[in-house]
Structure 1
Amino acid sequence: MEEIRDNLVARIAEAEREGWLGKVEGLKVSLAGAEDKLAQVGRRSQKATISLGMPQTRSGDLE
């Protein structure tokens, strides 16, 4: 997803250099969507961490 964002940033710069104002606006909308998706993915990966704690042994397991 970062690759898509980086590509959009490069395309926005090109469109600004060329004076393609309508294209710039459309690309900025796409960039905002890509950044929002990256933020969602980041939040999900943080929530996905689950602590299982330390395993416990029973006295009969070691014999």
Structure 2
Amino acid sequence: MLWPDPAQRDRLVEIRDNLLARIAEAEREGWLGEVEGLQMSLAGAEEKLTQIDRRSSVVVDLGVPVRRTPSS
């Protein structure tokens, strides 16, 4: 599975906000087919943001590596 790059979170927020504005415009103009397509894109953008937020909250402590010497 491909994961979205956390460094691109701000760009995804910008895309989501733009999609919301475009959906509002399409609803005002009565472009129902356009609304449906934009809502699908919006769902994808929101899912990617959720993935970024979920992954960035998980921290795994792997500890400090210890070098082992062969026993004599």
| TM-score, scaled to structure 1 | 0.75
Cα distance per residue 1:6-58 (max 9 Å; x no partner): 000000000000110000000000000000000000011011x34578xxxxx
Out of 43, 51, 57, the residue aligned to residue 40 of structure 1 is: 51
Alignment length (residue pairs): 52
Larger radius of gyration: 1
Cα RMSD over matched residues? 1.5
Give the distance between the partners of 1:10 and 1:45, measured in 2 at CA. 28
Identity score, percent = 71
Quick check: which one's helix share is greater? Answer: 1
Matching residue of 1:6? 17
Q: For 1:13-52, what aligned pairs fall within 5 Å after superposition?
A: 13-47=24-58, 49-51=59-61
